[in-house]
Amino acid sequence: MSVSPTGLEVHGVTVRFDGRTVLDDRSLYVPHGETCALLGPSGSGKSTLLRVVAGLLVPDAGRVIIDGDDVSDLPTHRRGVGMVFQDDVLFPHLDVGDNVAYGLRAHKVPKAERGPRVAELLALVGLAGFERRTVTTLSGGEAQRVALARALAPRPRVLLLDEPFGALDHDLHDRLVAEVRVLLHDQHVTAVHVTHDPDEAAAIADTVVRL
Amino acid sequence: MLTFLAALPLTIVIGRYRFAARRLVLALVTTPFVLPTVVMGTAVGASLPDRWRTGVPAVLVAHAAMNVAVVVRTVGLAWARLDPRYADAARTLGAGRRHVLRTVVAPLLRGPLVAAAALVFLFTFTSFGIIRILAGPRHPTLEVELWRRATQADIGRAAGLGLLQLAAVIVTLVVWQRASRAGGVGRSSRGLDELRRARGRGERAAVATVCTLTVGALALPFARLVQRSLRVGDHYGLDWYRSLRTSGAGTTRALKPFAAMTTTLTNALVAALVATVVGTLAAYAIAGRRRGAALLDAGLMLPLGTSAVTLGLGVFLAFGRPPIDLRASPFLVPAVHALVGIPFVLRTVLPAIRAVDARLGEAAATLGSTRWRAWWTVELPLVRRPIMAAAGFAAAVSLGEFGATSFLARRATTTVPVAIVDLLGRPGAANVGQAHALAVLLAVVTAAVFLVADAGDRQGW
């Protein structure tokens, strides 16, 4: 790892599905600690680019560099990325606390440190004391906050948000956007936020990139 | 255990990949399961060397081959429907492949795994046809013991054993029902589109190998069965098949294999009709109403789990003596077959009915349709294929039913499975040859009915 984190660099990524070019030689630069919004209509390849950064999709060409490390050939779990999906994708067989702790376990964080870290993150997203709740009893907004806490828990170098507020109603949507903006800045996380809503993009991001 | 080991590779393949012959492989693997147990037993017996022909290993092999389908279909299809984003989420949280499998995939598939285990246990526990043919005298199972006592007029003890077995079956069914209800967790709404194609030469080869080996291993006993049915003395010929027409020329007793075939086919037709009508009506009752629906559901699943022998004994006791003596009725056997077929109809039709969007009917109503007209013009076309498939399954079940029939059939109304076991039990190459020939014919008819039905069924279970 380099001495000072430099953020996320994407160089010349090309993705084709069945002969159709979804991303053509696309590059992106997000300085460390900043939030970049990827804005575009559905089908413009913004989610695809996110999956390439996460390593969930192998591009036909292009490199991904995180904080100076070329992670293009690393599998997802060794890239140090966190991802929040369109609808929460919380593990239904685990309770809220175990969902948030999942990444900590995967990174072999000792048990004694996991509890306080989970509590800290749940407090951060305004859900202190929710550890033992089952995920099916959460409202849409609560579930999405838990998903955010889960993604942040292992201290990812890059946080990827794939239309995380798409399924929420208007008031809740605006409130969460404001909260998350503050939260991302306080945590000093490099983040890529995918959305089709220009207002949301302007509200949450330091830079907006149109696809 | 053996079943699970044998089924594991194919389960993974079916659960993870999509490929051109996927449906075909699924159908082929399922075939041994729907083939008559008697045919399965005969085939395994025919393919093993004499020394191994009877005994525990032969029984285990036959059951494993039969139940691979249960595991592959239950676990593999559930895996295929699992939302892939759970695994994605785990990977972005820093979990490696094996870690994902252990902490996310396995717990989410626990329901289907337990359900499959319960079903395999159930089928093996109540298996009769295979054991009658392969077990030999030294390892009596509950099922065979029950049959032996009943045939030796020890009705009291037989009924006791039947109740004991019924209790075990009910416990297993409860486990199965709970487990399969939990199976819906983490379903992907997008269905099978997410399955990826095998990537690279290594993966493609692995997929092909697993499919070929499993299907091949399952096909082997049947290939041997066909070969032996054509073997007459030291040359090959159709003699055994021809002798079926001439009313058991080599035997002294007046058993007519050809007549048995006619009886079996008629039975299957009647049983399929009755089971389909009753099963479909029951499916509507269960889908539509809250109170008592679960009970009706479980109650109608009972014939699937209850061993056929117990069922046969029950029918024998209930209708076998005055005031109600139906033993002479030609409809008794098809009626019992229909009862056994109902669970299959239910499992096929019920998901289809539940999958029909209620708003379609509402839309038809706002367009001026009566309820009946809405059902006839909108809903029926959507569930027609599953209902046809269900009829096919019911027919296949009736074709191979052995346990109950062995109690109820009389010489004039003997069915093919009963005739096969009867022939195998007699000495002489002619009898065994005829049994093999009959088994091949029965297998061909059943497999044809099943494959046609399966092609019509998209939902499956």
Report the DSSP pairing between strands A158-162 and A190-195.
Answer: parallel
List of chain B residues whose C-beta atoms are within 8 Å of the C-beta of residue A103 = 93-95
Residue A192 has pLDDT above 90, yes or no: yes
Q: Which residue on chain B is closest to A106 by alpha carbon? A: B95
Residue A64 has pLDDT above 90, yes or no: yes
Q: What is the mean pLDDT of residues A156-176?
A: 85
- Listing DSSP states for B307-366 in one string gives -HHHHHHHHHHHHEETTEE-TT-TTHHHHHHHHHHHHHHHHHHHHHHHHS-HHHHHHHHH
Band of pLDDT at residue A10, cut at 50, 70 and 90: very high
Q: Which CA distances in Å does B73 have to A4, A177, B12, B52?
A: 53, 44, 11, 30
B254 contacts: CB under 8 Å, gap ≥ 6: B247, B248, B411
Tokens of A49: 């680019």
Residue A106 has pLDDT above 80, yes or no: yes
Angstroms from B122 CA to nearest CA on chain A:
27
Out of B93, B94, B186, whose CB is closest to A92?
B186
Q: Which segment of A10-14, A93-97, B11-15, B417-421 scores lowest on mean pLDDT?
A: B11-15
Query: How many contacts (CB atoms, under 8 Å) link A and B?
Result: 76
Answer whether A111 touches B (CB < 8 Å): no
d(CA B435, CA B448): 20
DSSP H helix total and E strand total for chain B: 24, 4
d(CA B220, CA B49): 14
* B304 or A6: which leads in pLDDT: A6
Model confidence pTM above 0.80? no
List of chain B residues whose C-beta atoms are within 8 Å of the C-beta of residue A76 = 88, 91-92
Could you tell me how far CA A60 lies from the centroid of its own chain?
Answer: 23
Out of B91, B185, B186, whose CB is closest to A76?
B91
Angstroms from A92 CA to nearest CA on chain B:
7
Residue A176 has pLDDT above 50, yes or no: yes
d(CA A164, CA A86): 5
Band of pLDDT at residue A210, cut at 50, 70 and 90: confident
Dihedrals phi, psi of A208, to nearest 5 degrees: -120, 130
Q: Which of A78, A79, A91 to mutate to test the interface with B (most CBs of B within 10 A)?
A: A91
Residue A102 has pLDDT above 80, yes or no: yes
Nearest residue to B217 (alpha-carbon basis) of B32, B59, B37: B32
Type and span of the H or E element at B136: none
In the stretch 100-159 of chain B, residues with CB closer than 8 A to chain A read 103-104, 107-108, 110
Band of pLDDT at residue A11, cut at 50, 70 and 90: very high
Q: Which regions of chain B are under pLDDT 70?
A: 1-25, 27-28, 47-57, 135-158, 179-206, 231-258, 289-294, 298, 301-308, 317, 319-330, 358, 361-362, 368, 409-413, 425-430, 455-461
Query: Which pLDDT score is estimated for B384?
Result: 80
B71 contacts: CB under 8 Å, gap ≥ 6: B3, B4, B7, B8, B11, B116, B120
Answer whether A82 touches B (CB < 8 Å): yes
d(CA B404, CA B147): 10
The answer to whether the CB of A80 falls within 8 A of the CB of A119 is: no
* A154 or B254: which leads in pLDDT: A154
Band of pLDDT at residue A158, cut at 50, 70 and 90: very high
> To 10 degrees, the CA torsion angle through B397, B400, B406, B412?
110
Answer whether A75 touches B (CB < 8 Å): yes
Angstroms from A153 CA to nearest CA on chain B:
9
Out of B85, B97, B99, whose CB is closest to A89?
B85
Q: Can you tell me the ipTM of this complex? A: 0.74
Q: What is the mean pLDDT of residues A135-147?
A: 88
